[in-house]
Structure 1
Amino acid sequence: MSVSRRKTLALLGGGLIVAATASAGTFLATRTPEKALKPWSNAGGYEDPRLFALSYALLAPNPHNRQPWLIELTDKNAFRLHRDPARDLPHTDPYHRQIFIGLGCFLEQMAIAARPKGFSAEISLFPEGADGPVADVVLVERADSDPLGAHMMSRRSCKEPFQDTPVTAAMTADLKTYGTVWTNPADVETIKDLTWQAWLTEMNTHRTLKESVDLMRFGKEEINANPDGIDLGGPFLESLMVAGLLTKDSQLDPESTGFQEGVKMYQAMLHATPAYISLTTPANTRPDQIEAGRRWLRLNLETTRLGLALHPVSQALQEFDEMAPHHAEAHRLLAKPGETVQMLGRLGFGPQTARTPRWPLETRMMNG
């Protein structure tokens, strides 16, 4: 998550703004973490069809940008996908449901990206059972393409306020393939309140807040060294870090001015939402979670095609104890009896946001 200048002004509550001198300005102008963003420009730069497809797959959305995938090359045009347990989120995702949704996003983007090379992906889930490898994948020759592939490089999760513009009926009809679209004003207001109360619960539960704060990467050097988690960078934010106004300690203290102003900022963002979309599955098995991730990835690409912004707000779906009342309410509102709500997202019209850092493909390979 990159934090914009507008957001940081909100965090400061109109307080001290750092004025850069000419020399400081030169320093700050070079603060883009180019190394951490290099996987975006490297995507598609491989002759091996597996590496070609995987170089796009690693750009897929995933929880807290943990990038929980590990790749083992096996036979020719084949590989095995593993979950990296070092990337788990034990407090906000104790049963790894969100992690497996992220792995589903990875698999779907890989399958889409293989098509321009003339291959389709045959995916066998959990070849050794639910506790083993996630999938075996074989690329087989097939001469066609997926039109959503054209939007992989433009896809973002937009964590900004949306315009006060309705999502059209035509767009809603297009999106019903992926989930239930909520545009009725009364429904929208009810879901807004749910997402706000759930966010407050996560932020006011120390261990879940700390899990996020521990994953914050402050400034260019930290982002380049660890291009995962929640990236806080750019010239303006780094000027605040240099001044000591933006620190991990302040983000962990609910009594601090920065924390309280951040709450106000997030509330404003959540309430600037004209519509939502929810994705459910019949049950909550590992294959259900993978399927939800594949569908969420395609929804991301479809909203990009339509010019819509999409932002996951799935805190109410988390399964730690303090979230239980919101989890139950989310299922009462958004699912039929027996179904599991796997994802909930804000829909609307928002600005194009920056690319998110990624680990290079080579660092996510177990061999080869």
Structure 2
Amino acid sequence: MVTRRAILWTGAGAVVLLGAGVAPLLHSDLSKARAPWRMAGTGFGDIRLDALSYAVLAPNPHNMQPWLIRLDGDDALTLFCDETRLLRDTDPQDRQIVIGLGAFLELLRLAAAEQGFGLDIERFPEGEPQPRLDGRSIASIRFVKKTDVKDPLFAQILNRRTSRVAFDQSRPVSAETLNALDKALRPGDGEFEWVNDAANVAALKTICRAGWRVELETDATRHESAMLTRIGDDQINANPDGISLFGPAMEAAHLMGMLTKEKMDEKGSAAYQATLDFYNKNIDTSMAFGWLSTSSNSRTDQLRAGAGWVRMQLAATALGLSMQPFSQALQEFPEMADIYEEIHDFTGIETPAGPTDGRLQGLFRFGYAKPGPAAPRWPLETRLIAADG
């Protein structure tokens, strides 16, 4: 599930001279887009809304925020997927979107538990949609008053960040630290394996570079990402989803016409090359890699993998460890087939032929870096739907 919400503009095209009349325009104020992080847990007068205010902060592919929520009665809700937010080219089986919905459900569970409630969750009550998601619900959830259900990972929800910067090359990631992430998983969340030795890390860097290049060079997937890019404060505050590019350098490049959606979608442009170079640099500074797999690949497995994914990230946050998903090699569009086979071969998981086969659900790089800012989010009220749909 890879999301590129904070690319730093480092290519040659970023070198611009600013006149006195332009400089005052180059600021960054994303307080509106980040308001949901400040609103979480402030008291909505309904336990479900209080818990949902944390759930909408879940990591998800391309920051599409595909969740739609219907409140049912006094103690229940139904989760749906907004089909207008699917990644039709990058995620042709909607697997990554379902993983993001699984992370949403886990943050909902953690937030409810903090207030003394458990969740009775029925996943895919109308059946698992295959091969694509459709209008059927993702989960039916009922809040049940319980005691002793709090989880210490809740404390990290507002601190959680996905790191999209170069990692500190002087700080290795220890086996003890990586094993601590494994302990955050619950039965059914998937199996976590990792490498931190030079040879295996180098091999995975090569695979990640190849997967990233395929996604960027494939016209359909590059175009999909480019059209989902929001550049500068105005665009991001108006549409706090997709891939966000912000900060004075971004604003300057955008004003100069060097950084636009169209330029990002143009092979060989400065924007294209800067994007390629930036992510290659991130890959090259990886200090360790880990992957999450499931024994089969049902929609329910994907939801549970999403829970495992976010639990590991919360545990990493508590340890001061930075973590970024780098899952291009796991994607199912045709041009990725060779890399897809290579990553499964590397991890010793047979390339899956169907939903009953084992499947890699996430690939992550690890290291240490200063935490970045919170990602933009749509306010909770924009994700609620009426009982009549």
Q: How many residues align?
A: 362
Shift of 1:146: 0.7
> Percent same amino acid among aligned pairs?
39
Q: Which amino acid in 1 is paired with 2:12?
A: L
CA distance 1:71–1:275, shift in 2 (3 Å): same
Shift of 1:16: 3.0
Residues 16, 252 of structure 2: 8 Å contact kept: no
CA distance 1:209–1:79, shift in 2 (3 Å): same
Partner secondary structure for residue 295 of structure 1: helix
Structure 1, residues 145-169: CA drift from partner, whole Å, max 9, x if none?
A: 1100110001011011111221112
1:265 & 1:66 partners in 2: Cα distance? Answer: 22
> Paired residue for 1:70?
68
> Paired residue for 1:141?
145
> Paired residue for 2:378?
359
Q: For 2:271, which of 254, 258, 264 is the aligned residue?
A: 258
Residues 12, 258 of structure 1: 8 Å contact kept: no
Structure 1, residues 116-152: CA drift from partner, whole Å, max 9, x if none?
A: 2211111110111113211011111123311001100
Structure 1, residues 90-109: CA drift from partner, whole Å, max 9, x if none?
A: 00101100000000000000
Kindly indicate which of the two structures has a greater share of residues assigned to helix. Answer: 1
Residues 18, 239 of structure 1: 8 Å contact kept: no
CA distance 1:238–1:362, shift in 2 (3 Å): same
244-253 or 213-222, larger mean C-alpha shift: 244-253
> Paired residue for 2:31?
34
1:184 & 1:143 partners in 2: Cα distance? Answer: 43
Q: For 1:172, which of 171, 178, 197 is the aligned residue?
A: 178
Aligned counterparts, 1:299-314, within 5 A = 299-314=312-327
Structure 1, residues 225-251: CA drift from partner, whole Å, max 9, x if none?
A: 111000112222112211222112221
Partner secondary structure for residue 292 of structure 1: helix
Shift of 1:24: 3.6
- Which runs of 5 or more structure 1 residues have no equivalent in the other structure? none
> Paired residue for 2:133?
none
1:234 & 1:142 partners in 2: Cα distance? Answer: 45
1:129 & 1:259 partners in 2: Cα distance? Answer: 41
1:214 aligns with 2:232: no
Shift of 1:189: 0.9
Partner secondary structure for residue 327 of structure 1: helix
> Paired residue for 2:362?
343
Residues 32, 233 of structure 1: 8 Å contact kept: no
Shift of 1:187: 1.1
1:102 & 1:333 partners in 2: Cα distance? Answer: 25
CA distance 1:335–1:298, shift in 2 (3 Å): farther
Normalising by structure 1, we get a TM-score of 0.95
> Paired residue for 2:168?
163
Aligned counterparts, 1:1-368, within 5 A = 1-3=4-6, 7-8=8-9, 10-12=10-12, 16-21=15-20, 23-29=21-27, 31-45=28-42, 46-131=44-129, 132-144=136-148, 145-164=150-169, 165-177=171-183, 178=185, 179-337=192-350, 338-367=357-386
- Which runs of 5 or more structure 2 residues have no equivalent in the other structure? 130-135, 186-191, 351-356
2:348 & 2:384 partners in 1: Cα distance? Answer: 38
